[in-house]
Amino acid sequence: MKKRLTLAALALFSTAALAACSAAPGGSSSSNGTQIDKTVKIGYNLELSGNVAAYGTAEKKAADLAVEEINKAGGVDGKKLEVVSKDNKSDTSEAATVATSLATQDKVNAILGPATSSGTAAASPNATKAAVPLMTPSGTLDSLTVSNGKVQDYVFRATFQDSYQGKVLAQYASENLKANKVVLYYDNSSDYSKAVADQFKKSYKGEIVVEDTFASDDKDFQAALTKFKNKDFDAIVMPGYYTATGLITKQAREMGIDKPILGPDGFSDPQYVASAGANNATNVYYVSGYSTKVNLSDKSAAFVKAYKEKYGEEPNLFAALGYDSVYMLADAAKGAKTSKDLSENLAKLKDFEGVTGKFSIDKDHNPVKTALVISLKDGKEEKAEPVEAK
């Protein structure tokens, strides 16, 4: 099915955005799953501390809000949602351990998270073994839901894939920014970033004058930026998480590099602007699936209002994805007796109306949904423009 990126005014994007790492093994399960009894139990396996805690924290806040709303409205089939929340500490080994604990000890009926692709890849085999569906709000690595040509029966996502983001960035660079020559500078320590970069290289029709890499823990990017500064290019394409890309943006601008900077949804957390500095976060563009300035569905305005009243701040992309994920799980829990039933219902989800738009789950367990490209000026969302990935 053809995917379309509809964009209209706005700003934001979230994080490690969507986040990255290794392919998820596993597939189907011989387990009977967990029973849905007096409550529908949802286990959070989120990054609440560590390097990308901003993603998991935003998702938890919004997920908690969704749980409150659903329970206040009577729950699912008269059953309240019960939450068991655990911190995976932004660590893949811990994410795998938490998945096992939630599924086998706490007997949850569904797992929300991890937020990152790497955490999801680590957690998926254990969730699959227990026949408990895992919904990652923001894990974007293509192989999370389809590995070696096989659909992962118990793995779902609420966001679009890395390959889609790479196509969007390539098209936006060429058609919207008229960038015929680019520098490609990406995080080589992240499968997420590498996947976006690989698809960009396949889709971009212009010239990549320099291709270089960094690691997410790096702090000094002066040597690479000095090399770029003396080249003839129209934009820098920078797949990576906010933790590094904000600092790179700051150092680039301070060196006088004022060309457009493009990135994936990993830019979408406010910490990107905090690291870059508001004045430096100008002429910056990133892929996103949500904006508080654009109503992608009739539910968007009410969500923003409720989130601001509860937390005193506007929700970002990760919050919106966490919120939608809980409502997707609740919808799939209707009529379900076990976690296996819930998973089967998720795979059939059609015309779901969330705050990130109206969408269905495709045969590969991915949502067919809208995307946005956000532009920043002085650290604030200036606008969003429509892009159609071809």
Q: Write out pLDDT tens, residues 88-131.
A: 999 999 999 999 999 999 999 999 999 999 999 999 999 999 99
Q: For 7-46, write each residue's pLDDT tens digit.
A: 333 333 333 333 333 334 456 666 899 999 999 999 999 9
- CB-based contact 96:127 (threshold 8 Å): no
Strand partners, 372: 288
- The set of residues, in sequence order, having a beta carbon less than 8 Å from that of 51 and lying 6+ positions away, is 90, 216, 243
CA distance 334 to 327: 11
Running along the chain, 390 residues long, what does each successive block of 10 average in pLDDT? 35 36 51 95 98 95 98 98 98 98 98 96 97 97 94 96 93 95 96 94 97 93 95 97 95 98 93 96 95 85 96 95 98 98 98 94 92 94 78
Q: Which domains does the chain have, with CATH numbers?
A: 40-159+296-362 (3.40.50.2300), 163-290+373-385 (3.40.50.2300)
Task: Scan for tokens 């089939």, then name that residue.
Answer: 77
Retrieve residue 228's tokens: 């770029």
Tell me whether the omega of the peptide bond preceding residue 264 falls within 30 degrees of 0, making it cis.
no
pLDDT tens figures, 170-195: 999 999 999 999 999 999 998 899 99
CA-closest candidate to residue 14, choices 120, 140, 119: 140
Task: Return the closest-CA partner of residue 139 out of 117, 162, 159, 165.
Answer: 117
CA distance 172 to 375: 11
- What length does the chain have? 390
> What beta strand segments (E) does the chain contain?
40-46, 81-87, 110-112, 134-136, 146-147, 150-151, 155-157, 181-187, 207-214, 235-237, 261-263, 284-288, 352-354, 357-361, 367-368, 372-377, 380-385
Q: Report the pLDDT value the prediction gives residue 297, as an integer from 0 to 100.
A: 83
Alpha-carbon span 75 to 54, nearest angstrom: 28
d(CA 321, CA 290): 8
